[in-house]
Amino acid sequence: MKQTLFTGVATALITPLTDIWVDYNRLGELIDWQIEMGVDALVVCGTTGESATLDDAEHRQVIEYAVKRVDGRVPVIAGTGSNDTRYGVELTKHACDLGVDGLLTVTPYYNKATQTGLIRSFEAMADAATKPMILYNVPSRTGVNIEPKTAAKLSEHPNIVGIKEASGNISQIVELFSLVGDNMDVYSGNDDQIVPILAMGGKGVISVLSNPMPRETVEICRRWFNGDLKGSAELQCRYLPFIKALFSQVNPVPVKAAMARMGFCEDHVRLPLSPMEEPFRANLYKCMDELGLPCAEGENK
């Protein structure tokens, strides 16, 4: 039986940014708050953390800072995937040396590799890793889908322990479960599919929603694992309008707007992303107000 990195909720953490640097003071405060609210793990330098526009030094520094700040309180999982497998191998080695608990490796983007290319690329990174690895399937962003048979083949590697499934294709995810068995843990990569994937035997979610609502997202999973299936489903439905608002424009634009309104960061994303637009912002704020999420002093109410 392979190691399970976490069960429940891992927050795909935003990276607080100013115009020119990473705001480490706010990143530290956010890390502490997330842990206090009960999340089960933290993912840094993923899509939500704007890894694509962190330079190499920043990427490494954010991982190092997170490991030190967390100080063993929850698992730290670092995004180390790349469309350049050589760089992904290098970053994977470095993250392992820094003391992360696990790795999240996204499907190589833009190159549009074949399934054979995906297998060889992921295996190269897993061979270089000294920590367990979770694959990240998000074809809407990368242009390439990890097919269930490919995931099953990769699940045979001892260092590949899980997959974050953000394809949105429930039929594909059901097929995935049927093929990987106990060789691979499956996590929801979409906040609107937490309960459906738990129902298939999923281990939890790598979540955007848990940035502004960590305790509430944890409660969805807690209720499920405690046998309160109806209660878990009710929460999934209750938060659905807000989840939709968080993805009404490309992630992490809306969640950055939400977290800025709550006082956790500046409402700043790096180009080519740009701040949230109307009427999407107004709807996001409306959803936040309906859920009773706090609004920091001086922010738009």
- What are the residue numbers of the active site? 136, 164
SS3 content of the chain, % helix, strand, coil (to 5): 45, 15, 40
Contact predicate 207/191, CB 8 Å:
yes
Half-sphere exposure of 100 (CA within 13 A, CB side): 34
Contact predicate 257/295, CB 8 Å:
no
Token output for 6: 């976490």
Burial of 217 (0-12, 13-18, 19+ CB in 10 A): buried
Helices of type H across the chain: 24-36, 56-70, 85-98, 115-128, 139-142, 148-154, 170-180, 194-199, 214-225, 229-238, 240-246, 253-261, 280-290
Burial of 195 (0-12, 13-18, 19+ CB in 10 A): buried
Contact predicate 253/276, CB 8 Å:
yes
254 phi/psi in degrees, rounded to 5: -65, -40
